[in-house]
Amino acid sequence: MNVVVIIPTFNEKGNIENLIDILEEEVFPKIKNHEMRILIADDNSPDGTAREIEKLMSKWKNLDLTTGEKKGLGAAYVRAMTYAVEKGADVMFEMDADLQHDPAKIPEFLKKMDEGYDMVIGTRYSAGGSIPKEWPFKRKMFSVLGNLLVRTILLKFSIHDWTGGYRAVKKEVFIKEKPELTDFKGYTFQVSFLNKAVRDGFRIAEVPFHFGERHVGSSKIAPMAYIIDLLKYVITASLQEKLFGPFGKFLVVGGTGFIIQAVILRAMVGVWKIDPTISNLTGAVAAIFSNFNLNNIWTFKTEKIHGLMQYLWKLFNFYATSAVGVILIQTGIIFLGDNLFGKKYYFWYFIFGTGILLIYNFTVYRLIIWRKQPHK
């Protein structure tokens, strides 16, 4: 594969030559099965980083430079990745210039790529990874809690390091997500890019690494502005996903099911004078059938069921799930509540039971009936 290590720089003159030397002399010679290049994404650094690179370009033929106006880290990455893809890159690395990202880990990322992953995330927060021991307690807390907060708000716990900037990504992921990568131009780019890749089912692996101390110079991050930008992103993204994503659609479908059942019940009992129990059951069977089909063509349309046998089998599963949910979970919670705290609060048990029922149903649908397929 054609691999490009992209290094964004803003006033990194003191670090960049050192890093390039390590990559060219120690890391790249060990990689035999891929073609390795370096692309520096500089934003007209006043310290003359770009001039330094131009000098080094006569020494290293696989070294390239893109320069532009300073619009933030994310904007620099989007520009550089666009350029790299145009020049034929298959895989792109994100790496800081300040030597905080151990270049010796590159082969481990590439191994994951060879195994078929689409994106590989360097992680500081799982076994084998770490943040600098020298950091003061406050900074450590900040770093750990920040990540935990992102994971919790997004409700995505399988990835341990959302905010880091040591990654490898296949060009397909970038091409797919690029149109949506324009809103957050700063450091929040990292979280939003990864979140979109997760959403779209790209296969993601993690490589633990020890995050070092900055070599020379100072951090470019503005902590307060970053935190506000980050929170803005994770909260809106999470709400959007929950309300307008499959879960929101699932709730809408459930609402239509309720109406269908109510109309059938009223019609059968009121107009045709049929026994209410039988009428209710008939309404339920019809509502469940409608729910199943609406979920199939709308809520989970990306995992739509094909073929008659598959359809009948999943429909059977859906009826079974619905029966188990209503009988065991919803009714069970009401039964428990009645016996533990008294019948007085029965309606609250019903509300609580219905809440749990919804979560149970959605989980079964997502994990069993319309299981998310990895990105093709």
Ligand X SMILES: Nc1nc2c(ncn2[C@@H]2O[C@H](COP(=O)(O)OP(=O)(O)O)[C@@H](O)[C@H]2O)c(=O)[nH]1
Nearer to ligand X, 76 or 168 (CB): 76
Tokens representing 204?
């993601």
**Residue of 4, 10, 168, 292 interacting with ligand X (CB under 6 A):** 10
> How many chain residues interact with ligand X (CB under 6 A)?
20
Q: Of 165, 128, 131, 127, which is closest to residue 145 (Cα–Cα)? A: 131
Give the C-alpha separation, 338 to 349, whole Å. Answer: 8
Q: Which residue intervals of the chain are DSSP H helices?
A: 13-21, 49-59, 73-86, 106-114, 137-154, 171-177, 189-199, 223-244, 246-266, 276-294, 308-324, 331-341, 346-364
- Given a contact cutoff of 8 angstroms between Cβ atoms, the answer to whether 91 and 168 are in contact is yes
Q: Of 251, 238, 167, 170, which is closest to residue 209 (Cα–Cα)? A: 167
Residues of span 196-215 touching ligand X by CB under 6 A: 214
**Between 155 and 194, how does the x/- string for binding to ligand X read (CB under 6 A)?**
----------x-----------------------------
Residue type for position 313: W
Nearer to Mg ion, 15 or 361 (CB): 15
Q: How far is the CB of 107 from Mg ion (least distance, A)?
A: 22
Burial of 128 (0-12, 13-18, 19+ CB in 10 A): exposed
**Residue of 52, 64, 94, 98 interacting with ligand X (CB under 6 A):** 98
**Which of the choices ligand X, Mg ion, none does residue 221 contact, using the CB cut-off of 5 to 8 A by kind?**
ligand X
Longest Cα separation, the chain: 91
**Which of the choices ligand X, Mg ion, none does residue 12 contact, using the CB cut-off of 5 to 8 A by kind?**
ligand X
Q: Is 364 in the site for ligand X (CB under 6 A)?
A: no
Q: How far is the CB of 242 from ligand X (least distance, A)?
A: 29
**Residue of 53, 73, 92, 120 interacting with ligand X (CB under 6 A):** 73
Question: Which H or E run contains 38?
Answer: strand 35-42
- Given a contact cutoff of 8 angstroms between Cβ atoms, the answer to whether 8 and 97 are in contact is yes
Q: Is 220 in the site for ligand X (CB under 6 A)?
A: yes
Q: Is 118 in the site for ligand X (CB under 6 A)?
A: no
Q: Is 64 in the site for ligand X (CB under 6 A)?
A: no
Instruction: Tell how strand 167-170 and strand 119-123 pair up.
Output: antiparallel
Q: Which residue is nearest to ligand X (CB)?
A: 219
The strands making up 35-42's β-sheet, listed across from edge to edge, are: 63-67, 35-42, 2-9, 91-94, 167-170, 119-123, 204-208
Give the C-alpha separation, 306 to 55, whole Å. Answer: 59
**Which of the choices Mg ion, ligand X, none does residue 42 contact, using the CB cut-off of 5 to 8 A by kind?**
ligand X
**Which of the choices ligand X, Mg ion, none does residue 220 contact, using the CB cut-off of 5 to 8 A by kind?**
ligand X
Helix axes 189-199, 223-244, angle to 10 degrees: 20
Listed ranges 91-99, 191-199, 231-239, 330-338: which one lies at the site for ligand X (CB under 6 A): 91-99
**How many other β-carbons are positioned within 10 Å of the β-carbon of residue 78?**
21
- Given a contact cutoff of 8 angstroms between Cβ atoms, the answer to whether 110 and 195 are in contact is no
Q: Is 221 in the site for ligand X (CB under 6 A)?
A: yes
CA–centroid distance for 282 within its chain: 41
- Given a contact cutoff of 8 angstroms between Cβ atoms, the answer to whether 334 and 353 are in contact is yes
Q: How far is the CB of 68 from ligand X (least distance, A)?
A: 8
Provide the binding-site residues for Mg ion, judged by CB under 5 A: 96, 98, 100
Residues of span 17-56 touching ligand X by CB under 6 A: 41-43
Q: Is 101 in the site for ligand X (CB under 6 A)?
A: no
Listed ranges 96-104, 273-281, 296-304, 313-321: which one lies at the site for ligand X (CB under 6 A): 96-104
- Given a contact cutoff of 8 angstroms between Cβ atoms, the answer to whether 154 and 234 are in contact is yes
Q: How far is the CB of 223 from Mg ion (least distance, A)?
A: 13
Q: Is 229 in the site for ligand X (CB under 6 A)?
A: no
**Residue of 9, 66, 295, 322 interacting with ligand X (CB under 6 A):** 9
Q: Is 96 in the site for ligand X (CB under 6 A)?
A: yes
Give the C-alpha separation, 258 to 322, whole Å. Answer: 13
**Which of the choices ligand X, Mg ion, none does residue 41 contact, using the CB cut-off of 5 to 8 A by kind?**
ligand X
Q: Is 76 in the site for ligand X (CB under 6 A)?
A: yes
> Using CB under 6 A as the criterion, which residues of the chain lie in contact with ligand X when the complex forms?
8-10, 12, 41-43, 70, 72-73, 76, 96-98, 100, 165, 214, 219-221
